[in-house]
Amino acid sequence: MTLSLPKPLLKRVKVIAAEEEKSVSQLMKEALEDRVHRRGAYERAKKHHLRLLDQGLDLGTKGQPLISRDELHDRR
């Protein structure tokens, strides 16, 4: 795989790699693994929350409001 990076970025990446005693290749591998992991976690969370929206949540009201709109806004 060939990767083109702007020189200033490549210099910074090399410095980071040296500070962490890793190769640039290892840094790229870790960055890509992290990105893939985060994307997977995001997709799982999205599916979970969409499923909750479809199912609805039990608020203990059995689908009935506990107070009327007028009572809520003190319109008697």
Q: Considering the domain boundaries, does residue 70 fall inside one?
A: no
- For the question of whether the overall pTM of this predicted structure is more than 0.85, the answer is no
Q: Considering the domain boundaries, does residue 72 fall inside one?
A: no
Q: What percentage of the chain has pLDDT greater than the value 90?
A: 67
CA distances, 27 to each of 5, 10, 32, 40, 42 (Å):
14, 12, 9, 20, 22
pLDDT of residue 65: 84
CATH number of the domain at 23, please.
1.10.1220
Number of domains in the chain: 1
pLDDT of residue 76: 59
Instruction: Give the residue numbers spanning the domain of 31.
Output: 1-55
